[in-house]
Amino acid sequence: MKRPLIGLGLGMAIGLVAGCGASGNHRAYEYMPDMARGPAYKAFAPNAATRDGLTLQHPVSGTIARGYQRFDYGPGEQEAERAGRELKNPYRATEATLQEGKALFETYCAVCHGAQGRGDGPISGKIPPPPSYRSDRVMEFAPGRIFHVITLGSGKMPAYATQLRADERWKIITYVYSVLQGREAAAVPSRQGRRP
């Protein structure tokens, strides 16, 4: 019984040495080479390995992108009002949130709305100027309605959903409400400066 085991062990040792014994210019013997170097397909190239013959496959039904947040509101005044009733700002006016909101506002909004939100930004003379954040009409807007406007745009204002993530839009709203409209008290100290 010892002889077959010795023979098997010797055969495996010879196989390992032979497989690893190639010089730098030659490939060694490989067991299952397709495991290391599979065939590569371009995204839009035909592919015989898939059921529909396409390399690029549709995502599974119900799949959502990482970080995606549903937005079930269409354009229009009624949808904006509904968003105002249903959407709630997840941020409080902490020092960190206000700083981030201010930086985002200065980057994306101040060019039209102005640094103080009065509708007097540098390009406001080239377009119909936006309303002041202190106007009676805008002061009645709920945070969800402002989120709707930033997301889908309104009038001459373009949609910013592709430039600003949802959390960034909410931080801008927190800054506008707290600082430019003076609706909330000063920043609430926070250890993390994140959502409550």
With respect to residue 45, please indicate whether it lies within any of the assigned structural domains: no
Per the structure, the complete domain to which residue 133 belongs is given by 77-180
The band of 64, judged by pLDDT with boundaries at 50, 70 and 90, is: confident
Cα separation of 101 and 169, whole Å? 8
Q: Domain with 111 in it: what CATH number?
A: 1.10.760.10
- Count of domains in the chain? 1
Residues 6+ apart with CB under 8 A from 90: 167, 170, 195, 196
Task: Give residue-wise pLDDT tens across range 112-150.
Answer: 999 999 999 998 888 888 999 999 999 999 999 999 999
With respect to residue 37, please indicate whether it lies within any of the assigned structural domains: no
Q: What is the mean pLDDT of the chain?
A: 83
Task: Give residue-wise pLDDT tens across range 150-174.
Answer: 999 998 899 999 999 999 999 999 9
pLDDT given at position 124: 83
- Is it the case that residue 185 has pLDDT exceeding 50? no
Give percent above pLDDT 90 in the chain: 53
With respect to residue 84, please indicate whether it lies within any of the assigned structural domains: yes
With respect to residue 172, please indicate whether it lies within any of the assigned structural domains: yes
- First and final C-alpha spacing in the chain: 71
With respect to residue 117, please indicate whether it lies within any of the assigned structural domains: yes
Task: Give residue-wise pLDDT tens across range 21-37.
Answer: 556 677 667 666 666 66
The full DSSP string for 126-141 is: TSPPPPPTTSHHHHT-
